[in-house]
Chain A
Amino acid sequence: MQGKDSNMTKGAVTAELRGLYAIWYRELLVFMREPSRLVGSIIQPLLWLVIFGTGVGSIIEPGTISGVDYQQFLFPGILVMTVLYGSLFFGLYIILDKRIDFLKEVLVAPLRKSTMFFGKALGGSTDGLLQIIILMVLGAIFFGIHFTLLSIILTFIIVSLLLISITSLGLAIGSLMDSPEGFGLISSFAIFPLFFLSGALFPVRNLPDWLKTVVMINPVSYAVDALRSVILGITGYSLLLDFSVLIIFTALTVITGTWAFKRIKL
């Protein structure tokens, strides 16, 4: 009896894992099927690096920001920006899927709601990771970023944590909102402060205290800081603090996302 029970549980776990795989795989298939989407998602960050990076770089003495060019200094911040915009807007698809019956096809499946949520979140995160990999390759070729095996691995870990948390946040907002317009409003309110107050565009060290405090409250700052430290060797906070904050932030957003997804209204 005992043995039979545990067998059934194993079967149930396998079923959930296959469901998770299906939902993840679908996001990836759809993403890969339209190369224009991938290219489009790379162009905005590249414009920032090339135009904003060159523009601001031209008024800063080379090497004055911790010994690197502004463009290189900007690079980790642009990775974070790519994650923020790409992943948060991933939640928008849930609203669009609500308008047709596509989401129902998933919701009627005999899977746990948390499995569905994780499938979506991992799918969105994988899309984001592909963009980041392309940007890293371009960074190494055209922007003089030097990667080592260790820095590549650490970059992946930091970016993945941020991807999962921001995707979860996007999915949470998408689950609770009914209209794309509402989503746009809420997410703009979320993205701009998260991005501008993260130190992605400027060093935090010389900021006035009030702004420094705001940056410290923003969890995204720790991703920027960690990436800058791993990729460029510029240290702000300690890596231990960075990772602790990111892990807690990821846990909280995943819990929030799962909670919101379970309450999804059709």
Chain B
Amino acid sequence: MPLIQIKNLTRKFEDFTAVDNVSLDIDEGEIFGLLGPNGAGKTTILSMLATLLSPTSGEALICGHDIVKNPTQVRHCIGFVFQDPSSDDLLTGRENLYLHALMYGVRKSEINRKIDEGLMLVDLTDKQHVKMRKYSGGMRRRLELARGFLHNPKVLFLDEPTLGLDPQTRESLWIYIKKLSVENKITIILTTHYMEEADKLCDRIGIIDRGKIIALDTPFNFKKNMGGDLVSISTSNPDLPSLEKIACITQVKYEHDLLSLTVDDAGRHLQEILAHVGEALKVEIHSPTLHDVFLKLTGKRMREGSGGGEGGWMTRSMHAGKR
């Protein structure tokens, strides 16, 4: 039985349908990504699953517990790393973890060990006694990530886990997330509007647009279904008839000394292709990305850099816990 079962989940805010009839099963141990632009309804789905928001209609079971009928049981088996900062500025990293452990029912005898482990996993052991207001954005995210794992939840929600962070910090966070999920065998649902993040982290991706899941597959299949890699070769004398006979080549185009081929798994067949091309001045292989997938599915580009959250996280983090 899937660990998370979502059936016809819908949430309306007055006239606006934020989540529109979403059905989804997620298996134990899976890292599932909800990929979509800002305002697509990703956070609303997570909020409903975490019992912070009640659905307008539809239902969902997490670890067998109904999110509407048994919210407390649901909260017993989940963890949440929020999009906006949610730790206390005036307290140290360790204090924030300690309070979390108490609230989320970590056994007393295990609290210190769990906190030490968590700090070590996200490399914050030497900063544990520093007040959070002195943390950088990336450090803060790492601490909140460790906190989400602290009470051994069966399911962990990550809402835009790397929003507003620089590329290096983002990649290092991916490593932490992978590491934590493998070591703790946790099912993770994350939302993101970074294609690369979904590609690198997720076992399966649901592409969401205007509250609807419009496509659902593994990153590999998504890209494969785009029809293979595009190989561009600058050459003056290709052997077009033989090229057309090669099985893995699905399309051949030759214009102005530029040969364009659509190839399944170009990396493996490059040698064979080049044998029929003659003298190649320049070879380029472009593998389809989730960008291409998204563009094809929705007919629009997803803006990665801009959008509501970007930068906002940092600004808001400055107000966090200001009291």
Contacts and interface: CB of A to CB of B under 8 A. Distances in A.
Contacts of B82: 101, 104-105
Contact of A30 (B76, B79, B323): B323
Interface residues of A, number: 29
A28 to B, nearest CB: 11
Nearest to A265: B53
Interface string B55-87: 000000000000000001001101110111111
Interface in A33-55: 33-34, 37
Interface stretch (B18-26, B88-96, B242-250): B88-96
Interface stretch (B100-108, B167-175, B280-288, B300-308): B100-108
A110 B321 contact: no
Given A29-B95, A100-B316, A19 B80 contact: no
A56 interface: no
Contact of B103 (A19, A29, A99, A104): A19
B320 interface: yes
Nearest to A18: B102
Tell me the dominant secondary structure on chain B's binding face: loop
A111 B103 contact: yes
A138 B269 CA distance: 87
A104 to B, nearest CB: 6
A152 interface: no
A96 B52 contact: no
Contacts of A19: 102-103, 105
B78 A108 contact: yes
A211 interface: no
A15 B105 contact: yes
A100 B86 contact: yes
A30 B102 contact: no
A112 interface: yes
A197 interface: no
A138 B286 CA distance: 77
Contacts of A104: 52, 80, 82, 86
A65 interface: no
Contact of A100 (B47, B50, B79, B85): B85
A193 B52 CA distance: 36
Contact of A26 (B84, B91, B105, B320): B91
B50 A108 contact: yes
B322 A110 contact: no
- Of A30, A101, A112, A266, most B-chain CB atoms within 10 Å: A101
A15 B73 CA distance: 13
B76 A110 contact: yes
Contacts of A15: 105
A129 interface: no
Given A30-B90, A108-B52, A112-B72, A100 B84 contact: yes
A149 interface: no
Nearest to B98: A22
Interface in A6-27: 15, 18-19, 21-23, 25-26
Contacts of A93: 323
A105 B100 contact: yes
B105 A18 contact: yes
A109 B104 contact: yes
Contact of B319 (A22, A33, A100, A107): A100
A111 B104 CA distance: 8
Given A100-B86, A108-B78, A22 B99 contact: yes
B125 interface: no
A102 B105 CA distance: 18
B51 interface: yes
A133 to B, nearest CB: 21
Interface in A60-115: 93, 96, 99-102, 104-112
Interface of B: 47, 50-53, 72, 75-76, 78-80, 82-88, 90-91, 95, 99-100, 102-105, 108, 316-317, 319-323
19 contacts: A18-B105, A19-B102, A26-B99, A30-B321, A30-B323, A33-B91, A34-B323, A96-B323, A99-B316, A101-B83, A101-B84, A102-B86, A102-B321, A104-B82, A105-B82, A105-B100, A107-B52, A108-B79, A108-B80
Interface of A: 15, 18-19, 21-23, 25-26, 29-30, 33-34, 37, 93, 96, 99-102, 104-112, 266
Given A100-B319, A108-B51, A109-B103, 18 more contacts: A15-B105, A22-B99, A22-B103, A23-B103, A34-B90, A34-B323, A93-B323, A96-B322, A99-B316, A99-B319, A102-B85, A102-B320, A105-B80, A105-B87, A108-B78, A108-B79, A109-B104, A266-B47
- Closest 6 A/B residue pairs (Cβ): A22-B102, A101-B82, A101-B86, A101-B84, A110-B75, A109-B103
